[in-house]
A and B are shown apart, each in its own frame.
Chain A
Amino acid sequence: MDVKPVSEAEGVPLLLDPNLFGLFSKRTPADLDTTSDNKEQNEQQPATDHLKPHSSLVNNPFETYEKTPLDQLIPLIVRSRGQGFKFADLSEQLLLNEIEQEQERNGIETHVSDNDNDINKESEESLDQNGLPLKRSTPEATFEANDEHTMSLEKFQQCKRNTIQSLDLALNESSLALEFVSLMLSSVRPSAASASMSPYLKKNVPAGTLSGEKVLLNRPSREETLQKQVINKGWKLRSLEEARSLLKEVYLESTKTLEKERKHWSEISHFISNKDVVFKTRDKDTGERSLGFKYGYRDSGSSYKLDRGIAVLKHNALLRKLELVPIEENAKAVHINQKNREKFLRVRIFTKLQEEDDYILTGESDLDSLLLPEKDEDEEDDMRIQIKRLKFFIFEQELMNRILKESEQLFSYGVSIENENKVVIEFPTEKMEVEYVQLNDDILLNHQQDAPKTNDKRARLFLVMMRLLLVVMYKKQLKGNILSVQQSGAAATKNTRSSNASKLSEPLIIRPILGKIRHNSYLCLLKKIIKDSVLDSVLEKDLRISPKAKTAEDLSASKIFDDHISKLNMEIYAFDEILSVPETEIVVDLAKNGRLLLTLQSPNYCNAITTVKYVDSSENIHFNTRFSDFKELEEFLHFIVTEYVN
């Protein structure tokens, strides 16, 4: 029990409650030890470690007791002693006893808790050396050092870590509390508060914000709200006004467009019939969507490819009417005036003067009524006229193209190509000129002044026939197209198709006409020969001339189920009279001397082959000879007459 004197020596001079003494002695090192930062933490530790048995007063700071005047200290002591205690009763002996008891209780506690003599001793020792601050920290260290015998290094590290963690936590908490208090204080004493505030808080939170002041709600005055409402209404009105003007603008604009469009469409519906070919296209110049109009004859069977015959329907803003603008296929043609397309065919007949080697114009085909300038032009029909003109010109263009092609092969029959716009067909007594003429004002003017000539009608008919024959070509092409489509579906014989194609490719415009005329002249010649060689020398005779009987084999022989084809056949057949190869039979009845049968054929339309048969009175056919030369024929006829007839 050497503990007692030490504690007495230390405790007594202070004149303090021994109960408090233990606390204070422990507090001293704590105070000295710690900086202001972990003051609170240190306060906590002793409280939990050693001061459990003591009353609440132990928490009071030491300085307060030391400095408290005696008149305050005594009641404090009295209070701590509990009721019924008088300060007068407090004697040194009593205090010693109490200390002794205290020491004993502590000793038991340490014994109970640690069960280790060394620790107990150490703790007592530490208690003895209360005043020494540096030694105060040893108990833990020694405790840990002693513990090493039983505690592993790991466990020690764990404990250390835990302790550090707790320390950090506590430090953090305390800092937070400090910040909080500082912030609260800042509204009242800004300078004092800002001193203890962390830089972070100072930077991010304005001072005095935790003051909890009451903010006055500024109710807007009646005038203000009214003004706001007026502004609101003003904005609304303005936006409505803007919307109104916008709508009006667009309305006017679209009405204009609508009117234009309405006119456009009504014109279209008025002029475009369901027979016209209309399709969607894009205007190459403007890139606008527009309607294309096909005035070419492709769908009617034309195979002309130089001009596709396509126009774009355009609204001419200047003339306020619909226009057809033909699309130029090749870029070169762009520069050429549109008027250049307006070319037409003119047929002129020149008759040879008997005496001189010169020709005189005796007939000219007149202008199509379409080409004449329209007097008091009817606005309603303007579009139709445009279409008609376009159709007319492309037709003429193709016709000329075909004629030129055909004429190349007919050179030996008096057909010559003077230039690319003129074909001349020569006959013994006259010549015909087929000319592709530019329509211009001179022609129009001359036409009106021209006096009618004798051969005008022939020229006109000639031209008409050429056009009709081109139409027949179209029909044949169309028929071929339909057939090839049908045949490609079914198993078709290639022969018929190829023969079809070859037949179609051959132009037949000049040739049939030329053939007719030449045949006629051959016939005249033949008649003359017959007259000279036969008729003049025979007394009893009868001459019969008849064109070969038509054979309707085409229509009846082939069974046709298709409506279109049968119709086309009909239409083509209608021209059989002119298209069939001319063939004439001449029968010279020589009474009792039998008959002479002559057949004039013009294969290839233009040649002449004469077949001569002599049938005697007993119906025996003696000769069946073909001649292509009239001289030979003449001699042969002479021979027959002299041999058989006379």
Chain B
Amino acid sequence: MSTRSLLEQLDRTTELLAQSLAQIVKFSSLSKDSDKIEESGQVAESVATMATDGIVLVNTHTSQLIKGIQDLLVMTRTIREKWLLSQVPDKKSSQDRQIDVEKCSKLLEEWVSVVVTGTSPQ
């Protein structure tokens, strides 16, 4: 997933979270609702329907909230994975080790003398 699409997803998710939260707050307010009912003289049925509607809405928005947060968590995972998989080996450190051919051949001679003749060189 590209950085751009990740950012877009982040935007989308945060917006969804904000909306869901706002909706929950809206439906959870008690005083305002009852005032409105008294003003308009609404009858009992509408109170009941509003109550049930409110419950359903709060429920859906809560699940949306949860889903949004889970999405965010998944996103962090994606980002971590991305970081892990797109690491570039450090070229410098691997190039630092220069091979000393002279020393190598010397060591090898030593090896030969030890292994073949069984005597360590003086």
A interacts with B: yes
Interface residues of A (CB under 8 A from B): 220, 224-225, 228-229, 231-233, 235-240, 242-243, 246-247, 250, 254, 257-258, 261, 265, 268-269, 272, 274-275, 278-280, 291, 455, 457-458, 461-462, 465, 513, 516-517, 520, 567, 570-571, 573-578
Q: Are A254 and B73 in contact (CB under 8 A)?
A: yes
* 12 residue pairs from A and B, CB less than 8 Å apart: A228-B47, A235-B54, A236-B33, A236-B51, A236-B58, A239-B59, A247-B65, A458-B118, A517-B116, A575-B108, A577-B104, A578-B111
Asked if B12 CB lies within 8 Å of chain A CBs, one says no
Query: Closest CB-CB distance, A360 to chain B, in whole Å?
Result: 15
* Main DSSP-derived SS at the B contact region: helix
A455 to B101, CA, bound (A): 28
Q: Mark B8-26, 1 if CB is under 8 A from A, else 0.
A: 0000000000000000100
A381 to B52, CA, bound (A): 58
A606 to B77, CA, bound (A): 58
Q: Are B70 and A254 in contact (CB under 8 A)?
A: yes
A497 to B99, CA, bound (A): 27
Interfacial chain A residues near B34, Cβ < 8 Å: 229, 232-233
Q: Are B115 and A280 in contact (CB under 8 A)?
A: no
Shortest 9 CB-CB distances between A and B: which pairs?
Answer: A239-B55, A577-B108, A574-B104, A274-B87, A243-B62, A235-B51, A232-B51, A520-B116, A577-B105
* Main DSSP-derived SS at the A contact region: helix
Q: Are B62 and A247 in contact (CB under 8 A)?
A: yes
Query: Closest CB-CB distance, B122 to chain A, in whole Å?
Result: 15
Name the residue of chain B whose CB is nearest to the CB of A238: B55
Q: Are A239 and B116 in contact (CB under 8 A)?
A: no
A-contacting residues, B26-46, CB 8 Å: 27-28, 30, 33-34, 37-38, 43-44
Asked if B50 CB lies within 8 Å of chain A CBs, one says yes
Q: Are B80 and A265 in contact (CB under 8 A)?
A: yes
Interface size on B, residues (CB 8 A): 52
Q: Are A232 and B105 in contact (CB under 8 A)?
A: no
Query: Closest CB-CB distance, B50 to chain A, in whole Å?
Result: 7
Q: Are A274 and B47 in contact (CB under 8 A)?
A: no
Q: Are B47 and A571 in contact (CB under 8 A)?
A: no
A261 to B111, CA, bound (A): 50
Interfacial chain A residues near B55, Cβ < 8 Å: 235-236, 238-239
Q: Are A577 and B109 in contact (CB under 8 A)?
A: yes
Q: Are B105 and A576 in contact (CB under 8 A)?
A: yes
Q: Are B105 and A280 in contact (CB under 8 A)?
A: no
Name the residue of chain B whose CB is nearest to the CB of A550: B105
Interfacial chain B residues near A254, Cβ < 8 Å: 69-70, 73
Q: Are B73 and A220 in contact (CB under 8 A)?
A: no
Asked if B117 CB lies within 8 Å of chain A CBs, one says yes
Query: Closest CB-CB distance, B94 to chain A, in whole Å?
Result: 8
Asked if B112 CB lies within 8 Å of chain A CBs, one says yes
Name the residue of chain A whose CB is nearest to the CB of B55: A239
Interfacial chain B residues near A457, Cβ < 8 Å: 114, 120
